[in-house]
Every structure is written in C-alpha cells, then in structure tokens.
Amino acid sequence: MKSNINKKRKTVLELCAGGGGQFLGLEEAGFDCVGAVEIEEEYCRTLKYNRPELNVLNYDLKQFNAKSFLGVDLVAGGVPCPPFSIAGKQLGQEDDRDLFPYALKVVEQAGPRAVLLENVPGLASAKFVNYRKNIQQKLTDMGYWSDWQILNASNFKVPQLRPRFILVALKEKFKKSFEWPKPFLNRITVGEALFDLMSEKGWAGVHRWLKKANNVGPTLVGGSKKHGGPDLGPTRARQQWKNLGVDGLGIADFAPEIKFPEDGLPRLTVRMAARIQGFPDSWHFPGRKTSSYRQIGNAFPPAVAKAVSLQIIKAI
C-alpha cells in the first residue's frame, strides 16, 4: 500500500470515495488525493477511468490500516448513510453498515490536521444525539475541535435540494480560523442545468418543458445493491420530479427525440442525472446504467465538497 504524500499542495486521504463526487470537490479546492479507499470495484473502475494516476485502494474500510498515511492534511469521507436514513430504518450503531467507528480509527492512525465526514440529515435528529456526542468526544480525546452543520446543495449552485449533514473537525489550534461556507444567493434550476441536453436530439417540446422545470429538483436517491434501481426515488420524490416535467420511474438511454410528444414527460439520462448532482460532463461513468446511476445518486455533490474543503484549507 503506497501513500504518495506530497507536501507541495494540501493532501487528503479519502474514505468511501464512491464515484468521485467528493474527490472532484477536494481536487478543485486544491487538495491532492494521496489515497482513495473504496470497497466497490465498479466505483474503483470509475475513479481509475477518470484519473488513471489516482492511488485507488480497493479496501473494506473495516480492514484498512492508515498508518502509512501519517501526516496527511485531511481525512475526508462519505460514510454509508443507511444506518441513519429513514429508508435504512435508522438502526445507527446497531447497523453493520455503520462505518463511523472505522473512520475515526483512520483519523487516529493518520493524525490529519482536519477531518471532513458527510452523511444524511437523519443523523442530525434527536434520535442520534448521544451518537453524535460520542463521536465528538472521541475527536476531542484525539485533540480535535469539531462541529456539525446541515448544508443544502441547492445553495451551492447544484440543481437539487440534497441536504447533507457535515462534520468538520480541526486540530484545536486551527478551530478559530474555520467558518462554514456562505450560500450563494441565486439557485440553478433543473431546466437551466439540462436545457442543452434535453434539446440535443431536436425535441420540439423542450421550451415548454423548460418553463415547467423552473425549480431545483428533490434529492436524487441512488439506492444500494440490495434496494433501489435506476429510478429517481420513492413515490413522493417521483411526484416532485413529475411537477418539474420529468418521469422519475427510470433512467433513459437517450435524450428525447424529435418524435417524442411535445407535452410528454422525458426521463433523465445518466449524463443528466450527473449534471443534477453537479458532476462536470468531463467525468465519465464507464459501467452499466444502473451502476452508473447508483454512483451518481449516492455521491457528495462536488460543489458542496469544494465549498467546505476551501474553508478547511483557509483554516489550516
């Protein structure tokens, strides 16, 4: 296992790297990723396809040892959300998918200046108050100040609501230098984000659709291997997508063509879903449609990761 720690720029060890959302945000903020830990091979293939030079580590976080990354500036990760989501029955520490303890073990081994961990807003509920206190106490014992905040992706020019509960921890000497990022005043709508993709095959109804798609979308739901397919979420979310002129029952292979009904409800393609999550068009998902959509739907929007990590760089 190589670490490749290079001190020319700030360095980050990324945990549960997924399909690259957080990686892109960290990269744009100025971090060099010295290691990206990810258990799923398809996600690893996506990372290597887009960044062949990236040190992708196909590991189960429960088995990962981070001692060779001692001295890294930041440990960042999007640990699995099912233990704290309503869909996952909110079993918390009783859920074997809870990886917070293993993320904290990595922090202890690597001793970074800062920590960035993100999860679903369900972790912010009263049900998990003791769980959160326990995490913060462990960080305090390791010499870190920490704070939690819910940030909505739509406030950072991402065309979906997507609230995320984010933990930032800094070595005590840096705590007074950190401020949470300020939201942008203007939002990007689904129509603004997707107009060129919806119109690329000559669909005559695209201007009518644009008027309907005049708000941010609900949170994309990627699902898991066991649950969830290539659709845009549960019934309520699909209704919200319908109100925006989108059929949420599946993912399309292509944009609507000329013969598509002018008043029809088009489905999103994988590339459109990636835009909704804030991925640049230059980032490709080489796997099958279902796997690609799952990577997109489970991602941490790059723009939010960038906003938070820029503030971390300023602080450290």
- pLDDT per residue as tens digits for the range 240-254: 999 999 999 999 999
Sheet-wide strand order for 114-119: 56-57, 31-37, 10-15, 74-77, 114-119, 163-171, 144-152
- Check whether residue 126 and residue 222 sit in a common domain: no
Q: Check residue 88 and give its pLDDT.
A: 42
In-domain check, residue 57 = yes
- Check whether residue 150 and residue 225 sit in a common domain: no
Residue closest to 297 by CA, chosen among 18, 6, 59, 41: 18
Q: Which of 16, 33, 44, 81 is catalytic?
A: 81
Q: Whole-prediction pTM value?
A: 0.90
Average pLDDT, rounded, for the chain = 90
In-domain check, residue 212 = yes
In-domain check, residue 310 = yes
Q: Check residue 89 and give its pLDDT.
A: 45
- Check whether residue 119 and residue 234 sit in a common domain: no
- Check whether residue 14 and residue 133 sit in a common domain: yes
In-domain check, residue 290 = no
In-domain check, residue 5 = no
Residue closest to 162 by CA, chosen among 224, 237, 229: 237
What percentage of the chain has pLDDT greater than the value 90? Answer: 77
| Higher-pLDDT residue of 299, 86 | 299
Instruction: Provide the sign of the torsion angle of the four alpha carbons 253, 256, 258, 259, taken in this order.
Output: positive
Is 97's pLDDT higher than 60?
no
Q: How confident is the model at residue 180 (pLDDT cuts 50, 70, 90)?
A: very high
Q: 289-297 and 41-50 helices cross at what angle (nearest 10)? A: 80
In-domain check, residue 292 = no
Range name among 73-82, 89-98, 127-136, 226-235 with the lowest pLDDT average: 89-98
Across 159-183, average pLDDT: 94
φ/ψ (deg, to 5) at 142: -90, 0
Q: How many domains does the chain have?
A: 2
Residues 10, 245: Cα–Cα separation, whole Å = 43
For 209-260, how does the pLDDT look when each residue is reduced to its tens digit (9 = 90+)? 999 999 999 999 875 555 555 678 888 999 999 999 999 999 999 999 999 9
Is 87's pLDDT higher than 50?
no
Is 108's pLDDT higher than 90?
yes
Residue 306 domain boundaries: 10-184+297-315
- How many other C-beta atoms can be found within 10 angstroms of the C-beta atom of residue 143? 12
Is 86's pLDDT higher than 60?
no
- Check whether residue 109 and residue 257 sit in a common domain: no
Q: Check residue 198 and give its pLDDT.
A: 98
Q: Check residue 228 and give its pLDDT.
A: 53
Residues 58, 156: Cα–Cα separation, whole Å = 31
- Check whether residue 238 and residue 309 sit in a common domain: no
- Check whether residue 36 and residue 108 sit in a common domain: yes
Across 157-171, average pLDDT: 94
- Check whether residue 272 and residue 162 sit in a common domain: no
81 is catalytic: yes
Q: Check residue 229 and give its pLDDT.
A: 59
Across 264-282, average pLDDT: 97
Residue closest to 284 by CA, chosen among 79, 106, 3, 51: 51
- Check whether residue 164 and residue 45 sit in a common domain: yes
- Check whether residue 237 and residue 271 sit in a common domain: yes
Is 93's pLDDT higher than 80?
no
Is 84's pLDDT higher than 80?
no
For 40-68, how does the pLDDT look when each residue is reduced to its tens digit (9 = 90+)? 999 999 999 999 999 999 999 999 999 99
- Check whether residue 87 and residue 224 sit in a common domain: no
- Check whether residue 195 and residue 157 sit in a common domain: no
Residues 276, 190: Cα–Cα separation, whole Å = 7
φ/ψ (deg, to 5) at 249: -80, -5
Residues 144, 241: Cα–Cα separation, whole Å = 41
